[in-house]
Chains A and B, each alone.
Chain A
Amino acid sequence: MTYRDLPWRPPLARDWAERMAEIEAVLSDGRAPDYATLKTLANQQLGMREELRVERAAKKLLKLDASDQAFAPVSLGLLGNRTLSYLPDPLAAAGLARGLAIASFEAPYDSVASFAFSPADCFGRSLDAVLVVLDETAFAGKRTLLDRAGEDAAIADAENLADALAEAARQKTGCPAIIATLPGAAQVSSAELATPGSSARFRHRVNLMLAEGAMEGRWLLWDQAALASRVGLETWLDPVRYHAAKIPFSVDVCPVAADNIASVLAAMKGKSARGVILDLDNTLWGGVIGDDGLAGIRLGQNSPEGEAFVAFQNFILGLRERGIVLAVCSKNTDEIAREPFRSHSEMVLKEDHIAVFQANWSDKATNIKSIAETLSLGLESFVFIDDNAAERERVRQELPLVSTIEIGDDPSFYIERIAQSGQFDHLPLNTEDISRAESYGGRAAAAEIRAKIGNYEDYLTSLEMRMTISPFDDVGRGRITQLINKSNQFNLTTRRYGEEDVRAIEEDPDQMGWQVRLQDKFAQHGMIGVVIVRKAPREWSIDSWLQSCRVLERGVEQCVMDRLFEAARDAGVARITALYVPTDRNKMVSDFYGRMGFEIAARNDDGSVAYVYDVAAYAPHKTFIDVEMQEKMEA
């Protein structure tokens, strides 16, 4: 099996065709199919025919009303100097496998320059992202061999084009550009990288320039170059059709390219995995700890297999560093399963890296459910890693939303397969992402304490929580935008704003944006809430109120509400109004304003509820958090 066959996906199920036929029948009726079933069917090793059927199902799904089906809608612009017409169908299919409904809109042929540099807007609609796939000819200025200054100028031109495209995407379609890196060029010599003006060297430099821009947040990356070299350039490029049909890569690699692009979009939409659940025996070490004992398991010690397991543990620890929370789920006696973590000298993973440790003899599906509950994460946030195909199959049947990766039975391949799956794909990291795993670990520890303490108020006090509230600013803008676009459950109006909108709110004297951060004695939770208020002299109205579900029932909202009414009182405002707009995801806050003491002002025809609260009548809450208001809070 080659990379092109997506080997990390589960194998094609025996009843695939029958189950797909049921989905097709539902779609033909114009109804929405079952989310987990269709996602599962799309996320398997598909042959050409199956791929075709999934593409057709995806196209029908895209015609349904977005609110009627559970796949997260993504509208994607496609812009290239070659045709990208072969991408929309495979992209729609690959999206389903990651829980996305990707609708693509291709710009007319050769509209790169006009999109970048003229007022013309070839999309004419708002999008979630514009994918820009250019080849060397679009970037290349005039270069002469060994002319270093000429090469520098060509790179500057390339950067100028990238900036113009990113800016056009922001202004015309209100979204970021995702720019593709350039795959390698033919190597005339082994000194290509040391030969200024050569194609290979130019492409390398363009890619580094694109990487720098992505780190600075000017655009996002699709690392086409990395994918092409994994697939193999020989397979990636189709010289015959490059010239005949003007396509940037071979038609038969479209499914793997689409999968790779979909993983970038999934990361954008917050659909990437947040946790990994690990089996122990033959997954983290060779052998069975209960049978072989500490001295008998194979881990490190210069045995090839043992070293492969050490490398794998290092890889897992690296995931934790990127903010992925680790959990263990093993059929074992708890005390025995913990022994290697405590006493084996070659163990890389230690007990305190593991947020939840479930070693018992119950069914794994049951244990996984309880891990998800303990960490307050949805099942879809988890990847389950187990060397045992039967256990993977069982989890797939019981919990189809948990991702299971085909890691094979040789530990030397585990890392590659997990990385290939793109399940942990992420955008350029910031420091808050990195502290996330710690935060989840802290939360699991907090849950244990909570169970012990019993009295909830004592528990909240024992957390030693500290909150800061500050106005929107440069530092927070990225995370603010992320929260605005990712929060579904604790989100009262679910209004989505891009980074430019957030900047506008910052600068508008008639609006006020608050970012809320929280820490406690276990963890730095980072930014966990955003509030946007529109201000009139006598009345403020809450435009958006959203919180991360990482910290629920801590009294966070009560604290912020107290401060909001204080600020309103100081500004001489008479009342605050608010709105709840129901979605299929935010039922948990349907009575939020009621609980906060607001009165219902109107029930609107669209299901939304308007609230009002007189500032003079406001009754502050009992809270357990030290609050610091930062900077000049203009009232």
Chain B
Amino acid sequence: MADTQTILDKVTVIIRDLFDEYEGPVTMETTADDVPQWDSLSHVRLMVMIEMELGVHFSTSEMQSFRNLGDLVEAAAKQSG
């Protein structure tokens, strides 16, 4: 299983790129509510960017189950393991 910190680092870069006005912390606990620019529109785009960058694919049910970035990172770690 891939190192979750490495994955979180990659995801952080994408989040900083996509939500360029957000300067707060990006952690496993971060959710869409923490980031003003993170709306349903940019959410889809974020998922696509993360999938492409990490070479993973999230299923419909997986995506529904993410409560925070940590869940997403764990799911990605499992796939790239």
Which residues of A are at the interface with B, using a C-beta cutoff of 8 A?
Answer: 48-49, 52, 56, 85-86, 240-241, 243-245, 247, 250-252
> B32 an interface residue at 8 Å Cβ cutoff?
no
> B10 an interface residue at 8 Å Cβ cutoff?
no
**Which residue on B lies nearest to A245, using beta carbons?**
B44
Q: Number of contact residues on B: which range applies? A: 10 to 19
Complex CA distance for A251 and B45, rounded to whole angstroms:
7
Residues facing A in B11-32 (CB within 8 A) are 17-18, 20
> B65 an interface residue at 8 Å Cβ cutoff?
no
Question: Which residues of chain B are near A49, meaning CB under 8 Å?
Answer: 17
Question: Which residues of chain B are near A250, meaning CB under 8 Å?
Answer: 48
A245 with B40: in contact, given A52-B17, A56-B20 (CB under 8 Å)? Answer: yes
Inter-chain contact A86/B52, CB cutoff 8 Å: no
Question: Which residues of chain B are near A85, meaning CB under 8 Å?
Answer: 41
Question: Which residues of chain A are near B53, meaning CB under 8 Å?
Answer: 48
Inter-chain contact B49/A48, CB cutoff 8 Å: yes
Question: Which residues of chain B are near A52, meaning CB under 8 Å?
Answer: 17-18
Inter-chain contact B52/A48, CB cutoff 8 Å: yes
Complex CA distance for A597 and B54, rounded to whole angstroms:
71
Inter-chain contact B17/A252, CB cutoff 8 Å: no
Please name 21 pairs of A and B residues whose Cβ atoms are closer than 8 Å in the assembled complex, sorted by A: A48-B49, A48-B52, A48-B53, A49-B17, A52-B17, A52-B18, A56-B20, A85-B41, A86-B41, A86-B44, A240-B59, A240-B60, A240-B63, A241-B44, A244-B60, A245-B40, A245-B44, A247-B44, A251-B44, A251-B48, A252-B48
Question: Which residues of chain B are near A48, meaning CB under 8 Å?
Answer: 49, 52-53
Q: Specify the main secondary structure of chain B where it touches its partner.
A: helix
Question: Which residues of chain A are near B17, meaning CB under 8 Å?
Answer: 49, 52
Complex CA distance for A160 and B53, rounded to whole angstroms:
45
- Nearest-Cβ distance from residue B20 to partner chain A, whole angstroms: 7
A252 with B52: in contact, given A86-B41, A247-B44 (CB under 8 Å)? Answer: yes
Residues facing A in B34-62 (CB within 8 A) are 40-41, 44-45, 48-49, 52-53, 59-60
Which residues of B are at the interface with A, using a C-beta cutoff of 8 A?
Answer: 17-18, 20, 40-41, 44-45, 48-49, 52-53, 59-60, 63
Complex CA distance for A241 and B53, rounded to whole angstroms:
18
Complex CA distance for A11 and B28, rounded to whole angstroms:
36
Question: Which residues of chain B are near A241, meaning CB under 8 Å?
Answer: 44
Complex CA distance for A262 and B40, rounded to whole angstroms:
25
Question: Which residues of chain A are near B44, meaning CB under 8 Å?
Answer: 86, 241, 245, 247, 251
Complex CA distance for A241 and B63, rounded to whole angstroms:
11
Question: Which residues of chain B are near A252, meaning CB under 8 Å?
Answer: 48, 52
Complex CA distance for A350 and B40, rounded to whole angstroms:
58
Question: Which residues of chain B are near A247, meaning CB under 8 Å?
Answer: 44
Closest A-B pairs by Cβ, 6 of them: A251-B48, A252-B48, A240-B60, A85-B41, A251-B44, A245-B44
**Which residue on B lies nearest to A49, using beta carbons?**
B17
Question: Which residues of chain B are near A244, meaning CB under 8 Å?
Answer: 60, 63
Complex CA distance for A171 and B80, rounded to whole angstroms:
55
- Nearest-Cβ distance from residue B45 to partner chain A, whole angstroms: 6
**Which residue on B lies nearest to A48, using beta carbons?**
B49
Question: Which residues of chain A are near B63, meaning CB under 8 Å?
Answer: 240, 244
- Nearest-Cβ distance from residue B56 to partner chain A, whole angstroms: 14
Complex CA distance for A250 and B20, rounded to whole angstroms:
24
Question: Which residues of chain B are near A56, meaning CB under 8 Å?
Answer: 20
Complex CA distance for A52 and B44, rounded to whole angstroms:
14
Complex CA distance for A56 and B42, rounded to whole angstroms:
14
Complex CA distance for A244 and B41, rounded to whole angstroms:
12
Question: Which residues of chain B are near A251, meaning CB under 8 Å?
Answer: 44-45, 48
Q: Select which of B18, B45, B59 is within 8 A of A86 by beta carbon.
A: B45
**Which residue on B lies nearest to A52, using beta carbons?**
B17
- Nearest-Cβ distance from residue B42 to partner chain A, whole angstroms: 10
Complex CA distance for A52 and B53, rounded to whole angstroms:
14
- Nearest-Cβ distance from residue A410 to partner chain B, whole angstroms: 28
**Which residue on A lies nearest to B53, using beta carbons?**
A48
Complex CA distance for A548 and B60, rounded to whole angstroms:
56
Complex CA distance for A240 and B59, rounded to whole angstroms:
8
Question: Which residues of chain A are near B18, meaning CB under 8 Å?
Answer: 52
**Which residue on A lies nearest to B59, using beta carbons?**
A240
Give me 17 other A-B pairs in contact (C-beta within 8 A), A241-B44, A252-B48 excluded. A48-B49, A48-B52, A48-B53, A49-B17, A52-B17, A52-B18, A86-B41, A240-B59, A240-B60, A240-B63, A243-B60, A245-B40, A245-B44, A247-B44, A250-B48, A251-B44, A252-B52
**Which residue on B lies nearest to A90, using beta carbons?**
B45
Complex CA distance for A412 and B39, rounded to whole angstroms:
45
Complex CA distance for A168 and B2, rounded to whole angstroms:
55
**Most chain A CB neighbours (cut-off 10 Å) among B20, B49, B52:** B49
**Most chain A CB neighbours (cut-off 10 Å) among B40, B44, B49:** B44
Complex CA distance for A86 and B47, rounded to whole angstroms:
13
- Nearest-Cβ distance from residue A493 to partner chain B, whole angstroms: 41
Complex CA distance for A57 and B67, rounded to whole angstroms:
33
- Nearest-Cβ distance from residue B71 to partner chain A, whole angstroms: 17
- Nearest-Cβ distance from residue B46 to partner chain A, whole angstroms: 10
- Nearest-Cβ distance from residue B31 to partner chain A, whole angstroms: 18
Complex CA distance for A241 and B47, rounded to whole angstroms:
11
Complex CA distance for A240 and B51, rounded to whole angstroms:
14
Complex CA distance for A241 and B43, rounded to whole angstroms:
11
Complex CA distance for A56 and B20, rounded to whole angstroms:
10
Question: Which residues of chain B are near A86, meaning CB under 8 Å?
Answer: 41, 44-45
